[in-house]
A and B are shown apart, each in its own frame.
Chain A
Amino acid sequence: MELMIQVLVSGLLIGGVYALISVGLNLIFGVVRIINFAHGEVLMLAMYATFWLNKVYGMDPYLSALLVLPALFFFGVLLQRVVVQPIQEASANMQIFATVALSLILQNIALIFWKGDFRTIQTSYAMSTLEVMNIFVSVPRLVAFLVALASILLLYNFLKHTFVGKALRAIVEDNTVARLMGIRVERLYLLAFGLGAAFTALGGILLIPFSAVYPTVGVPFTLIAFIVVVLGGLGSMSGTFLGGLFIGVVETFGGTYVSPALKEAIYFGIFILVLLVRPQGLFGKGKGTEEIGLK
């Protein structure tokens, strides 16, 4: 029983980070309607940036967010402008090719500059744990979960209550009508991509105190983020959050009780199942997802 609770807690904690990364993808996917296969590579770049700031300048990984987040925000804007915008109207297959190529380029640039080694950083708090009623909680993981939760709430309120946020939601809802209402869709695409990249980058920063970075570290996260977005439904922040937690829990339970090597296989299985049973997502608005599928 205790083990079970322990596993559940670990799953929820890592699930928070998955949710954060998926919120980034959901924003990009929902607003810009691009199938971004290079999503995990943004995470990878953020992890490397944080790693090097720590290695070279001894900067604390959490503090380095002040530099890394704006940098990756602009990187996202740049990607939207240079890579995505020219293929915005192309067929879904062409978009997949272009973003797969982008991920290949970014992974291998990382390999060229930083080699294939697994790199980790040492912090004073990496190994520290809290104990609550015989359940051990790793401090950096707890921090990751809380920061992820806080930033998702922040984004939720931004989308809900600000003018720009409402415009973004309008685009998710119906791109053409949003444009007819005078929303500058192209500009908001840039913003959405930038914000999506920044949220993903934050996920990377939160991961680095307890996980290694290497050129292909982002690959599983791209798939996880897509799984979570499909689970949670396009445009649904709460759905994405719950989806992220769900995948985190499934992964840790599978890893503990079935086999560590198969934990990913389990959530891929769930992904295929969800796509089949409810392609509009478990909590989603439905409409948007199907439109993308139709395109």
Chain B
Amino acid sequence: MSAKRLQLLGITLLAAAIVIPAFVDSRFILQMLTLIFFSIAMTSAWNIPVFGGKMSLGHAAFFGIGGYTGAILYVKFGVSPWIGLPAGVAVSLLGGVIMTLPLLRLRGPFFTLATIAFAEVLRMIAIDWRSLTNGSVGLNIPFKPGWANLTFQSGAPFYFISLILAIAVVFIAYRLRHSALGFHLRASASNDEAAQALGVDTRRAHFIGLLWSSGLTGLIGVFYVFFIYVVEPNTMFSTTLFSLQPALNGIIGGIGTIWGPVIGAVIMTPLGEYLRVYLGTIQQGLNFVVYGVVLIVTVNFIPGGIVSLVRLKSSNRSNGSGSPSGATEAH
């Protein structure tokens, strides 16, 4: 596919996305698309540090911090969600600093392990700090529809919010990847020592990359809480749901690229929902078995994800090497 045709395809899809709510009445389809957009945003935000080879399995931490901040401010203190949004981002950024500064000294699997531990600690704090979080019961967002409360009768507003969120996060990820920061991160991923020898402050690059990622994830978390009306520690800080899921989407689409997370989220979200609803009712847990098998097969046979397959076919400009961050993009 040439760049022009890709552009055309993108514009067509975007136009379709904008007009869909006008024609589609099914709440189910709208809801599914909203989930897909949330998932695209989540995965793309998670993917930013992966440009530099830093893979977190603790992003539920930022998602939960953002969500909890928005919900606590609104439910406990009556603060408008529109103030909760920047507040959620701010607290997530703070969480990002707290996690990132010490953890940056860790490499590879130890970094990943420590991120899991970080999210788990937050989950336990959320369960334990009852006066603020209402413990494992969580907080319910009262249903008072209106833009001021960020709660809606129809599905359309959140459809558009999530669509804009997805586009914004992908755009930011794209800009970051092609900025000096992106090049520093990718240099660090392919050879950290060499990058440092050339004068790149790779620790600073990782730090900024992780901050972008944690802030955006926190923002998505606030919106998500108002989308599902409830905040609860075992959901918000769930390793399976919000730490593993973006990573799964990423690996299946192709980690460290721009379109990999998008493709992964578009394929895996409906598949996940389908498996959950259909297989889940036949046999609870079967959906995750299928998930796991898909993942092992992907890791073994297409470690570069779906994106690496598309590239191989479409152009000879790409290197198509399955390495997570070594893949180049056609400009």
Q: Which residues of A contact B (CB under 8 A)?
A: 35, 83, 86-87, 90-98, 100-102, 104-105, 107-109, 111-112, 116, 215, 223, 226-227, 230, 259, 261-262, 264-265, 268-269, 271-272, 275-276, 279, 292-295
A214 to B292 Cα, complex, angstroms: 19
**Contact indicator A97/B121 (Cβ below 8 Å):** no
Instruction: Give the Cβ gap from A141 to chain B, nearest Cβ, in Å.
Output: 24
**Contact indicator B289/A92 (Cβ below 8 Å):** no
Contacts of B142 on A, CB cut-off 8 Å?
Answer: none
**Contact indicator B106/A279 (Cβ below 8 Å):** yes
A109 to B127 Cα, complex, angstroms: 28
Q: Residue B241 at the A interface, CB < 8 A?
A: no
Contacts of B303 on A, CB cut-off 8 Å?
Answer: 90-91, 94
Q: How many residues of B are counted as interface, with CB atoms below 8 angstroms from the partner's CB atoms?
A: 45
Q: Residue B163 at the A interface, CB < 8 A?
A: no
**Contact indicator B110/A275 (Cβ below 8 Å):** yes
Q: Contact check: which of A105, A109, A261, A276 meets B128 at CB < 8 Å? A: A261
* Chain A interface helix/strand/loop/mixed: helix
Instruction: Give the Cβ gap from A25 to chain B, nearest Cβ, in Å.
Output: 12
**Contact indicator A102/B292 (Cβ below 8 Å):** yes
* Chain B interface helix/strand/loop/mixed: helix
Instruction: Give the Cβ gap from B326 to chain A, nearest Cβ, in Å.
Output: 11
**Contact indicator B244/A100 (Cβ below 8 Å):** yes
Q: Residue B270 at the A interface, CB < 8 A?
A: no
Contacts of A227 on B, CB cut-off 8 Å?
Answer: 117
Instruction: Give the Cβ gap from A71 to chain B, nearest Cβ, in Å.
Output: 21
Q: Contact check: which of A96, A98, A275 meets B300 at CB < 8 Å? A: A98
Q: Contact check: which of A93, A116, A275 meets B55 at CB < 8 Å? A: A93
Interface 1/0s, chain B 93-131, versus A by CB < 8 A?
A: 000000000110111111011101110110011011000
Instruction: Give the Cβ gap from B203 to chain A, nearest Cβ, in Å.
Output: 14
Q: List 5 A-B contacts (CB under 8 A).
A: A92-B109, A96-B109, A97-B247, A105-B296, A261-B128
A227 to B117 Cα, complex, angstroms: 10
Contacts of A98 on B, CB cut-off 8 Å?
Answer: 295-296, 299-300
